[in-house]
Amino acid sequence: MKRQIAFTLRFDPTFYERVKAVSASEGRSVTSFVQEAVAKKLDEDDAASLFQAFTLVGDDVSETSVEFARDAQREVVLKDV
């Protein structure tokens, strides 16, 4: 198992009760629920950054990185493999 780090999160009580209720209804822990939510947000941010980078390709040829674009495409294609 991967090494994990424990730390404290502070939630508004109403928000925490919502998180607890949803995670329980899915048969999982609050920790699992929060980990998945954070991972999803990080993936969305990565995808947005990648999209932004692709929209810049061709705008300024001197700043265009073909290698970056190739590596980014490879990462997206192989992500679910």
Please give the average pLDDT of every successive group of 10 residues along the chain, which has 81 residues.
88 96 96 93 83 66 65 74 56
Q: How far apart are CA 15 and CA 34, in angstroms?
A: 12
What are the structure tokens assigned to 42, written together? 């990080």
The ranges assigned to domains in the chain are: 13-78
Q: How far apart are CA 30 and CA 35, in angstroms?
A: 8
Give the model's pLDDT for residue 51.
76
Cβ count within 10 A of residue 20? 14
Give the model's pLDDT for residue 23.
96
Give the model's pLDDT for residue 20.
96
Is the torsion defined by CA of 20, 26, 32, 35 positive or negative?
negative
* pTM passes above 0.95: no
Give the model's pLDDT for residue 38.
92
Q: How far apart are CA 25 and CA 23, in angstroms?
A: 5
